[in-house]
Structure 1
Amino acid sequence: MKINNTSAASASSSNKVMGGFGRGVVWRWMAALIVGSLAACSSVPPTGSTPAPVASSADEVPLPPIQRQGSRWLPVRWAALPGWGLDSLHEVWGAWARGCERPAPMHAALCAEMRPLTMAGTAEQQAWIESRFQPYRVVEPDGTTAQGLITGYYEPIMAASRQPTFIHRTPLYAPPPGLPAGQPWYSRQEIDTLPAAQAALRGRVIAWLADPIDALILQIQGSGRLQFREPDGSIRTVRVAFAAHNGHPYQSVGKWLLDQRAIREASWDGIKAWAANNPGRLNEMLWSNPRTVFFKEVQLTELDARFGPRGAQGVPLTPGRSIAVDPLSIPYGTPVWIASRGVVYNQQRLVMAQDTGGAIVGAVRADLFTGWGGWGDAPYQLASRLKQPLQMWVLWPR
């Protein structure tokens, strides 16, 4: 989930990558990036509703809408989906098949049919989808339209140490014994300063990082890969996943800096640059977010390394094809057609709702899992910059 963002691939219930600077869940940030993301928390775009109809009469079909707690679904024709028929469906079929490991009740019966089509051509796959599913435009619960938002999150890869060193001085903790469920524990500042909090976490360090901002990014994303150098010089990679959090609300450090006019844009690059120029205020910035995420180490097999962490649905995330959603709007395991045009991301494609995040709230809201990588790699770049208008259509079994 995406913990603070976007996404709970991560899972924490508070954070996903920069897309929700401010994704997993308590599941994978909360499952707030960013899975959830920096841009999503730095500012919120206008989302004013308008009573204008969502579909033209040519798009409408004689079926009743579906009302959910967080959204309303309006039935439309396939022709109403922009770009439908142009997507390479084989790219999403693997993500769909993995979702069938833990299918939603309404989708379970169709999993036996879709699996044999894994090696089929796009035309055959599309024909099957059209025969078994009805598309619905996702709008606000009252039926009005609103500007949707898509952000991104990723799984960071970071160098780490098993023991504290002169360089590696920032700890990542496993949950302390007796952590109260649903109640605030020590805040981030108290964990760093109070002897009682530090005593409760004694022996719970699972890794040490060199940069406290990297540790914050990892907590916002909800999961990550840590690379340890073994005594023989080899590199061993493990995955850490969301295990719990300290019960405090997530607060975006990017927004904190923006409110003080310390930076002009809430990007991780900008935040790191500010921290480098203001070392005496680093803790003040970090402590503005009272939430701390605790991790657990997860075995990373060769097969696991080919996919992302497990999202809120409980299945591995697929880069570019898994999204975090608000489960009150869209159930996990649902195929979703998304359309977004912008400088950073220009796509009309089928994705799977497989994760959530603390900042992923609303009817038309998605956090795209972009993959895994290090600082500056393509998955990070896309996740940190993605923040665009979005339209969504769910595909629901007939």
Structure 2
Amino acid sequence: MTNLFRLKFIALALLLGGCTTVPPSPVSPAPCPPVVTPPVTTVTPNLQLSDWSALPGWNDDQALAAWDSWLQSCVALKAKPEWQAVCAAAVALKPASNEAARTFFQTWFNVYQSLKADGSTDGLVTGYYEPLLHGSRTPSAAYPVPLYAAPANLLTIDLSSIYPELKGLRLRGRLEGNKVVPYLSRADIDGAKLPLAGSELVWVDNAVDAFFLQVQGSGRVQLPDGSMMRVGYADQNGYPYRSIGRVLADRGELRLEQTSMQSIKAWGKRNPDKLPELLAQNPSFVFFKELPNSNGGPLGALGVPITGGRSIAVDTRAIPLGAPVWLATTEPASTVALNRLVLAQDTGGAIRGNVRADFFWGFGDAAGKQAGMMKQTGKMWVLLPKTMAVPGALASR
């Protein structure tokens, strides 16, 4: 077997497993973008040139409240050629009003509506948050459920240098003799043999809370002495996410429209004997790392702190990570409009699609209540710098 053929075989096996360049003073209008030759940049073909007048509620948003989150995006984006000028202008400008912030974005950006493959505009908007768990650095009867660090035998394989079409796709596996095989599933990890013993990071008091921490991707653990331990996403076992809410709906245990984090937790309390089998229906498993404690939000996939009410998780195959996004949706379990400038600063295993967003509500129980109920229809417009080259086919409406 040639090396090239062997790599293809491994990939298949694992996939089966799973105006002026000098800014004016804050009271002056925003500067115009410099006239430059646009860099060659790939923009996904789901984006269609739109107009600021198409954004529901654009002139009513408290855009200034998104400014700090936008500057956080620039921390990560400023090294990219197509973002350098706009981020330099943003850092130098200190807008004094919502109108000044909106003027900046209108001056420097074009707006594109994100479309599904069939050309439709409506997609799903869910919510997530940073939960608070209770735990200990040592196991006990009170804290029996481990959160694991990334295990030493977890292999991450990137074949993009050989197969460019696999760019952004990392395969997970493990060695079994001299073969690479899919990594352990949730059922394997949580099984009686405890194959990851020794990789525990901390132990918590509740298996359902630990499960939903994996769904959220980050959280805080309050230790017995009252101190806080912050944990964040480290890696994943390579399996696709499967919704246990849908499993319960398919089994007739809950109505699909009633499934939420809260209803699933309530079901678990009523059915403790059935809970392990239900959780195992989602083979995806997330590993954590301890993060420094800070007053800011958790780190998102962009590598910067995310902001409650102003950050979203997206599918980066459709929306560039770090980009401003206009989100038009409704409040959780409501028809009240939620139209807001947000930043695409995170990703998630269940966030797949051109018009798909996970809205970050912040930290704690109140944020968790909102996140757990959020399953809304929404539309999305992506803001891209005017200096970014966009394929001509996307530039017409």
- Pairwise TM-score range, normalised by the shorter structure: 0.7 to 0.9
The answer to whether the Cα contact below 8 Å between 2:150 and 2:199 also exists between their aligned partners in 1 is: yes
- Aligned residue pairs, count: 318
Give the match's secondary structure for 1:100: helix
AA partner of residue 74 (structure 1): Q
AA partner of residue 379 (structure 1): A
Give the Cα–Cα distance (whole angstroms) in 2 for the partners of residues 260 and 140 of structure 1: 30
Match of 2:374 in 1: 386
The answer to whether the Cα contact below 8 Å between 2:261 and 2:373 also exists between their aligned partners in 1 is: no
Match of 1:299 in 2: 292
Deviation at 1:344, TM superposition (A): 6.5
1:320 equivalenced with 2:314 (yes/no): no
Deviation at 1:294, TM superposition (A): 1.2
Match of 2:232 in 1: 241
Match of 1:337 in 2: 326
Match of 1:185 in 2: 183
Give the Cα–Cα distance (whole angstroms) in 1 for the partners of residues 205 and 385 of structure 2: 49
User: Which residue of the other structure, out of 244, 248, 269, is the alignment partner of 1:257?
Assistant: 248
The answer to whether the Cα contact below 8 Å between 1:117 and 1:125 also exists between their aligned partners in 2 is: no
Match of 2:106 in 1: 130
CA RMSD of aligned residues (A): 2.1
Deviation at 1:73, TM superposition (A): 2.3
Give the Cα–Cα distance (whole angstroms) in 2 for the partners of residues 333 and 192 of structure 1: 35
The answer to whether the Cα contact below 8 Å between 2:241 and 2:350 also exists between their aligned partners in 1 is: no
1:281 equivalenced with 2:248 (yes/no): no
Match of 2:65 in 1: 91
Match of 2:9 in 1: none
Runs of 4+, deviation exceeding 6 Å: none
The correspondence of residues 1-398 of structure 1 with structure 2, limited to 5 A, is: 68-69=43-44, 71-103=45-77, 104-141=80-117, 144-181=119-156, 182-183=172-173, 184-195=182-193, 198=194, 200-230=195-225, 235-264=226-255, 265-300=258-293, 304-305=294-295, 307-341=296-330, 343=334, 346-373=337-364, 377-398=365-386
CA deviation vs aligned residue, 1:127-146 (integer Å, no higher than 9, x gap): 2222211222222346x224
Deviation at 1:171, TM superposition (A): 0.8
The answer to whether the Cα contact below 8 Å between 1:242 and 1:296 also exists between their aligned partners in 2 is: yes
CA deviation vs aligned residue, 1:87-120 (integer Å, no higher than 9, x gap): 1111000000111111154222111111233342
Give the Cα–Cα distance (whole angstroms) in 1 for the partners of residues 83 and 350 of structure 2: 26
The answer to whether the Cα contact below 8 Å between 1:313 and 1:354 also exists between their aligned partners in 2 is: yes
Give the Cα–Cα distance (whole angstroms) in 1 for the partners of residues 43 and 87 of structure 2: 23
Give the Cα–Cα distance (whole angstroms) in 2 for the partners of residues 330 and 94 of structure 1: 20
Seen in structure 2, the aligned counterparts of structure 1 residues 281 and 108 have a Cα distance that, compared at 3 Å, is same
The answer to whether the Cα contact below 8 Å between 2:114 and 2:354 also exists between their aligned partners in 1 is: yes
Seen in structure 2, the aligned counterparts of structure 1 residues 293 and 344 have a Cα distance that, compared at 3 Å, is farther
Deviation at 1:276, TM superposition (A): 2.0
Give the Cα–Cα distance (whole angstroms) in 2 for the partners of residues 357 and 282 of structure 1: 24
Give the match's secondary structure for 1:114: helix
Deviation at 1:177, TM superposition (A): 1.5
The answer to whether the Cα contact below 8 Å between 1:344 and 1:386 also exists between their aligned partners in 2 is: no
Report % sequence identity.
42
Seen in structure 2, the aligned counterparts of structure 1 residues 247 and 130 have a Cα distance that, compared at 3 Å, is closer
AA partner of residue 280 (structure 2): W
Seen in structure 2, the aligned counterparts of structure 1 residues 280 and 124 have a Cα distance that, compared at 3 Å, is closer
Deviation at 1:67, TM superposition (A): 8.2
CA deviation vs aligned residue, 1:364-393 (integer Å, no higher than 9, x gap): 1111111011xxx22111111111111111
The answer to whether the Cα contact below 8 Å between 2:114 and 2:121 also exists between their aligned partners in 1 is: no
Deviation at 1:248, TM superposition (A): 2.6
Match of 1:9 in 2: none
Seen in structure 2, the aligned counterparts of structure 1 residues 139 and 260 have a Cα distance that, compared at 3 Å, is same
Match of 1:22 in 2: none
Seen in structure 2, the aligned counterparts of structure 1 residues 394 and 192 have a Cα distance that, compared at 3 Å, is closer
Give the match's secondary structure for 1:118: coil
The answer to whether the Cα contact below 8 Å between 2:135 and 2:202 also exists between their aligned partners in 1 is: yes
Q: Give me the TM-score of the superposition, normalised by structure 2.
A: 0.75
